[in-house]
Amino acid sequence: MEKRLIDPSQVKGWGIDADPKNDPTYPMKARNNGEHKGYSWQRPTQQRGDVEVLHSNERPHLTAVFGTSTPPRGLSGLLRRFAFRYSESSYGHWLPLMAADRIGVAEGYVEDLARGHIPNVFAERGWAAEWKYNRGSLLLRIGVGVAVISAAVAYLSSDTD
């Protein structure tokens, strides 16, 4: 691609925030060394609640506020509780969480069906937008998928004869 040399002086706002002291360790933080004293600050009021919240074992307690979205439950919840026995530095923490996320998807299908909702996976995946803006690619992918599945079915059928 052709490059376009740009005259900086013609760029609106050029240099207005230039800071000669910003090299290379401009203090992003207003250093006060407060952390040298550990948990020394006056903590905010502690949030109460009966929702199960898992907390990192790299901190001594819950933070003053915490999120209450989607508490752990089911098999995925068991895995998440297991994961939080390990520190954030351990694969023992992250890999079970990734597995729990995938199990959670399957649990989501079960929950949907249990409340009489059949998830419209095509709509959830935004295929309407694909149909509108990327129809050729969508049809190609559907065609390839159908061909692969057909071939697999044909192969398995012939194998069982």
Partner 1 sequence: MNYRGPLRVRIDEKPMPEILHPQDAIVRVTRSCICGSDLHLYNGSVPDTRPGMTFGHEFTGIVEQIGGEVQKLKVGDHVLVPFNIACGKCVFCQQELYGNCHESNSEATAVGAIYGYSHTAGGYDGGQAEYVRVPYADVSPTVIPDGMDPDDAVMLTDVVPTGYQAAEMAGIQPGDTVCVFGAGPVGIMAARCAWLFGAGRVIVIDCVQYRLEFARNYAPAEVYNFKELDDVVLFMKKTTDWMGADVCIDAVGAEAAGNAMQSLLGRKLLMQGGSATALHWAINSVKKGGIISIVGVYGPIDTLVPIGNVLNKGLTIRANQASVKRLLPRLIEHVQSGVLNPKALITHRVPLEYVSDAYRIFSAKLDNCIKPVLLPPSVRS
Site for partner 1 in 48-107 (CB under 8 A): 48-49, 53-56, 58-59, 62-70, 76, 80, 83-84, 88, 91, 94, 97-98, 100-102, 104-105, 107
> 79, 99 in Cβ contact below 8 A?
yes
Give the residue with the Cβ less far from partner 1, 40 or 158: 40
Check residue 5 for interaction with partner 1 (CB under 8 A).
yes
Give the residue with the Cβ less far from partner 1, 125 or 151: 125
Check residue 15 for interaction with partner 1 (CB under 8 A).
yes
CB of 155 to partner 1, least distance (A): 25
CB-count exposure of residue 136 (10 Å: 0-12, 13-18, 19+): exposed
| HEC readout, 23-86 | CCCCCCCCCCCHHHHCCCCCCCCCCCCCCCCCCCCCCCCCCCCCCCCCCCCHHHHHHHHHHCCC
Give the residue with the Cβ less far from partner 1, 94 or 155: 94
x/- map, 101-140, partner 1, by CB under 8 A:
xx-xx-xx----------xxx-xxxxxxxx--xx------
Give the residue with the Cβ less far from partner 1, 98 or 142: 98
- The alpha carbon of residue 143 and the mean position of all alpha carbons in its chain are separated, in whole angstroms, by 30
Helices 74-83 and 91-114: angle between axes, nearest 10 degrees: 170
